[in-house]
Chain A
Amino acid sequence: MTSTMTSAPDIAATPSGQALRFYGLWAIAAIALVVLPLVFSSGGSLTSFSLIGIAIIFALSYNILLGETGLLSFGHAVHYGLGGFAAVHLMNAVAARGWPIPLPLIPLVGGIGGLAFALLIGWVMTRRAGTVFAMISLGIGELVASSSLILRSVFGGESGITTDRTALPHIFGWSFGPQIQVYYLIAFWVFVAAMAMYALTRTPLGRICNAVRDNPGRVEFIGYDPHVVRYLAYCFAGFFAGIAGGLAAVNFEIANSAYLGAVQSGLVLFATFIGGTAYFFGPILGAILVTYLQLGLTNVTSVWQLYFGIIFIAIVMFAPGGIAGLLMMHRPLIRAGTLTMVIPSYLVAALPTLALACGVILSIETVARYTASEGDGNIINLLGIPFNATAPATWVTAAILIVGGFIVGRITWRRIADAWDRAGSIARDRGYLA
């Protein structure tokens, strides 16, 4: 017993270096949020940053369900949308009645909107987990989306409900007319919400959510009702999604039925999963990437959603840990100093893999242009090389790239696996890999 008495404190105490690094990261994040618009100050980048910020909160809220509690929802946008509508209605009421509520508090109302619906419907929904929960979330999503078109007075039908964010009482002399002011409002909420959601993972409830994710049956035998745990997680996720929806309402000055539809639900699932559900920063990466792609790809190709689908399928099949999982996989190798053993194999594999990707892109674009009846859209510009979609030479090139890339790629992928085995076993010997 004496040994436990002496060892318990030093087992438990967090090393101060770790704490420093932890607060350092948050400080850097805060500084980055403040400085970003000063570096990239064009109107376009401000708009992008604002959208990315909203997407980050939304994806993090989704990960409370998927990553933390193991609940796969196909209807998370319901809370986002209802948060948006709650915010818009309150903004209009504030403007009409002259209530002393400034704009920066509006997203909180969005959160309450999202939470209210979660409280109402969550208990029935979270009665069961797994596939059934997924199906039910889809059904509830459709129910709310279809109902929103019937209840026109609340949801404004097809056109939605508009508002004017500058009509609210000003605070510190900010009208929130210019995008830069809206950006800082969003950045503030991103920081606060991300902190809060991170803190949530460090609480007793957060840890029990993980336990429910891993093994709901066993949780019942350590005193917890998994249904209650799922319900609480669902409510928190609904609350933070509502904040994101409220911010979207402030940003766009409109809320419409698209906010709570299936597309929005699908996008947040894509962002979260592509980023990686096992680490807190995964959904942040995913939200940045997906929003950026969404904004960037729409100008380049008409079938950008198909690329989303393909990226998502590839992640599900080959890297279910998402980008964050891929990155964190290398941490033990870095610590063991064996990262250099795998890098060359990556570089070798990059070329055929890139060729394969180009082949796939080329064939998709060829089909897309070939079937689109417009005559002028036939030239595909890939890596600066123009390809004619109607020319057989293009088709042959695409076929060669795909077949050749795949055959050569497979050899190099195996070499990656071999290099990994070697680097991993050394890391394991040195005690950096379990």
Chain B
Amino acid sequence: MTPAIEVRAVEKRFGNVSIIHDLNLSVAKGERHAIIGPNGAGKSTTFNLISGYIRPSSGEIRLNGDVISGLRPFEINRRGLSRSFQVTNVFARMTVWENVRCAVLWATGYRYGFWKNVDELPEVRRRTAEILEDIHLSHRRDVPAGLLTYAEQRELEIGITIAGGANVIMLDEPTAGMSHAETERAVALIRRLTEGRTLVIVEHDMSVVFGLADRISVLVYGRIIASGTPEEIRGNPKVKEAYLGEEAH
């Protein structure tokens, strides 16, 4: 079966500095895949490369078998890959409802339409309401996103990411900065919302990673040093040395 995401020999240089070298990664369809690694290992850069935010210097990235490296972010998004951001990245002056609705519009085929009343599109309305219900923000629908609490903004961030119905979801540290209770709620949310889809997640919280992921890849200094099931990763001496060793004590 074609993998959902396949990264082959990707390298990214900024000037003379190579941030990512010879990155190889394969995520099967329907898999929940976590990328872990110490700070500065290139996790966010990997996300940015796959989602088209930056272009690889060399190598190739495929989504469901099609080459996507070199495409613009919106082209990649239209092919069914959606990502969230580590720093909350919502539409601050628009209400929660409008935030989610904007993320629904392209997928429902209304595109740049300027001849239809956006309030009278039943399908858009239904999907927006569903997503709001899913992320527990229905009661805040008329609040400008900029005025939400931090945890609510993180939930909205996830809502915007999944709203378009992409089959590959990439979440960049979705629980960063959350309290323990909020994290638990967010993990349950992620688990439920990505049911039947492919999930790639970057996360620092090891309990989240080991609780959620089917497979884990460990990124150290721009290179994947190990890839496998949570048990394999736990038992891998190289990983212990490079990563878990420092964190676990």
Q: Which of A8-16, A242-250, A254-262 interfaces with chain B?
A: A8-16
A214 to B103, CA, bound (A): 14
CB distance from B53 to the nearest CB of A (A): 8
Taking the nearest CB of chain B, how far is it from the CB of A212, in angstroms?
Answer: 9
Question: What A residues does B147 contact at CB under 8 A?
Answer: 434
Interface contact B73-A220, CB-CB below 8 Å: yes
Task: Specify which of B93, B94, B113, B163 is in contact with A203 (CB 8 Å cutoff).
Answer: B113
CB pair A204 B118 closer than 8 Å: yes
Q: Does B14 contact A (CB under 8 A)?
A: no
Does A218 touch B at the CB level, under 8 Å? yes
Q: Which residues of A are found within 8 Å of B106, using beta-carbon distances?
A: 222-224
Chain A 212-236 residues near chain B, CB threshold 8 A: 213-215, 217-225, 228-229, 232, 236
A-B contact pairs, 14 of them (CB 8 A): A8-B125, A12-B126, A202-B118, A203-B115, A204-B114, A206-B114, A208-B102, A217-B89, A218-B91, A221-B83, A222-B163, A223-B74, A223-B77, A224-B106
Name the contact of B164 in the complex, choosing from A200, A223, A278 (C-beta under 8 A): A223
**Residue A3 at the chain B interface, CB threshold 8 Å:** yes
Q: A11-B141, A12-B125 are in contact. Are A211 and B118 (CB under 8 A)?
A: no
- B249 close to A (CB within 8 Å): no
Contact A223 B94 (CB under 8 A): no
- If the complex has contacts A221-B74, A221-B77, A222-B103, are A11 and B129 also in contact, measured as CB distance less than 8 A? yes
Besides A221-B82, A223-B105, 6 more A-B contacts (Cβ < 8 Å) are A4-B134, A204-B111, A206-B118, A221-B83, A228-B112, A232-B114
Q: How many chain B residues have a CB neighbour from A under 8 Å? A: 49
A8-B129, A205-B113 known; A214 vs B92 contact (CB < 8 Å): yes
Question: How far apart sit A211 and B85, CA to CA, in the bound complex (Å)?
Answer: 16
Known: A8-B129, A222-B160. A204 touches B73 (CB 8 A): no
Q: Which of A109-128 contact B (CB under 8 A)?
A: none
- Given A4-B129, A7-B129, A221-B74, do A203 and B160 touch, yes or no (CB 8 Å)? no
Chain A residue at smallest Cβ distance from B114: A205
> Which of chain B's residues 97-139 have a Cβ closer than 8 Å to chain A?
98, 101-103, 105-107, 110-119, 121, 125-126, 129-130, 132-134, 138
Q: Does A207 sit within 8 A of B, measured CB to CB?
A: yes
Contact among B77, B115, B129 with A220 in the assembled complex (CB-CB below 8 Å): B77
Question: Which residues of chain A from 175 to 228 have a CB within 8 Å of any chain B CB?
Answer: 199-200, 202-208, 210-211, 213-215, 217-225, 228
